[in-house]
Chain A
Amino acid sequence: MNEKKRLFAGILLFGSLWGFSEVIIGSMIADAGLPSGGLMTGFFAIPFLILSRLIYKKPGMQLGMGFVAGGLRMFNPFVGCQICSAIAIMAEGAIFELIFYGISADFKEFKNLTMQSSIGIFSAYIIFVCGYIITQILTPIVAGVGFYLENLLIAMPKIFAAGLLPALIAVITVPLVISVKKLDISIKNSIYYPTTLGLSILCWGIVISSWIIFS
C-alpha cells in the first residue's frame, strides 16, 4: 500500500512538473518563434520520463505522468491549442511505455555513454514522431472536423524532419539525467509526501492562476 502511495505521489509530481514546463516554458519558447515541440520533448519530456523510470523503476508510471501533464495542459487554454498539445503529451507518455516495455524496465543495461546517447536519440525521435502522428490523427477527430489520411501522408517528411531536433538534444540530456541519478539522492518518507504534494500543488496553482489572470 505504501509503495502504491509513493508511486502515485511520484506520478503526480513528475506529471505536474512536465505539464508545468510544457505550459509555462513551452509557451515562452513558442512565443519566441522557436520550435517548442521539439525543444520541449528533448529538454523536458524525455528527461522527466527517464528520470522517473530510473527512480521508481515501475513500468506504467510514465503513462500516468502523460495523463497528468496532458490534463494540466488542458487547464491552460489561453496559450494556444490545448487539444493538440494535450493529446501529444499523453501520447508521448504512452509511447515511452511501449518502447521501454521491450527494452528495459530500469535502464541497468545502459552503462556506457554510447548506449545512453543511443537510447536518447532513439526514444526521443520515436516518441516525438509518433506523438506528432497521433496528434495529427486525433486532433481533427476530437475537433469534429474529420480526419483525412491524405493530409497526414503529405506531412510525413515534415514530421520525420521535426524529430531530428529532440533526438539531437537527447544525445546530451539522457546521459546527463542518468549521471544525475547516480548521485543517488534519497528522501525520507517524512518529507517525501509533503514535498511531492507541495510541488505538484504549486505547479497546478501557477498554471491555473496564470490562466485566470491572463484570460
Chain B
Amino acid sequence: MGKEKAIPIFAMVVLVIGITSTLYVNAIEKNNNISDNKLLINGFEYSFEDLSNNIETVSIVTDDGERIGIPLEKIITFSDVNCPACNEYKFIASDPYQQIISWNDVKTGILTYNEEYNLRVYFPNLPHSFWVHNLIEIEVNLL
C-alpha cells in the first residue's frame, strides 16, 4: 500500500480512536457524579463540608502560587486509617486518572475545592501531574 492510501487511513484510525475515547471518558465522568463534592476515603464517604468543618485549613506555597486547603495528613487521621505510614495512597479522579503517592508526600499535601477543578489535591514537592483534580476517591492500600 502506497503512502497516498496509507496516510489517510491512519488519520481515520486515530480519529476513530480519539472520538471513541472521548465518548468513553465522558460516559465514565457522568457515571462518577462529582457535583456533590463527596469523597470516598478508605471506603467511607465524606463531603468537603464534613472535612472542612472538622479540620482547620492551612496555606501552602506551590510553584503555582499560594493554596489554601485541608491538610491531607489530618484528613487521613480523621478518617480512622490505622498506621498511616504503613500505607500508600491512591488518588482517583472521575475521568479516570489516578496517582499513587507515598505517606511522606501525602503529609505535605492539601485538599481544596473550587468550581473549576472541584476537589483537587496539591503537593508542593511533586510535579503537577500528581495534583489530581475532580477527585472522587482516596484508596488506602497496605504497603
Contacts and interface: CB of A to CB of B under 8 A. Distances in A.
Interface residues of A, number: 38
A154 B98 contact: yes
A155 B97 CA distance: 5
Interface in B46-65: 63-64
B96 A103 contact: no
B126 A164 contact: no
Most chain A Cβ neighbours within 10 Å, of B14, B98, B101: B14
Given A157-B25, A158-B25, A161-B24, A167 B15 contact: yes
Contacts of B25: 157-158, 161
B87 to A, nearest CB: 15
B73 to A, nearest CB: 18
A40 to B, nearest CB: 15
Contacts, number: 101
Contact of A83 (B7, B21, B116, B127): B127
A115 B4 contact: yes
A143 B17 CA distance: 31
B19 interface: yes
Interface string B17-50: 1111110110010000000000000000000000
Contact of B101 (A103, A117, A118, A145): A145
Nearest to B92: A154
Contact of A150 (B11, B63, B100, B127): B100
A160 B127 contact: no
Contact of B128 (A84, A150, A155, A158): A84
Interface string B100-121: 1110010000000000100000
B14 A145 contact: no
Contact of A121 (B4, B11, B64): B11
Nearest to B117: A33
A80 B63 contact: yes
A193 interface: no
Given A84-B127, A115-B7, A167-B18, A145 B95 contact: no
A103 B22 contact: no
Contacts of B64: 80
Contacts of A192: none
B127 A81 contact: yes
A119 interface: yes
A3 B18 CA distance: 41
A75 interface: no
A150 B101 CA distance: 13
B91 to A, nearest CB: 10
B18 A158 contact: no
Contact of A161 (B22, B101, B126): B22
A20 interface: no
Given A84-B128, A143-B126, A145-B130, 7 more contacts: A81-B127, A109-B3, A143-B127, A158-B95, A160-B17, A164-B15, A164-B22
Which 4 residue pairs of A and B lie closest in terms of their CB atoms, listed nearest first? A164-B18, A81-B128, A160-B21, A161-B21
5 contacts: A78-B63, A118-B8, A142-B127, A150-B100, A158-B25
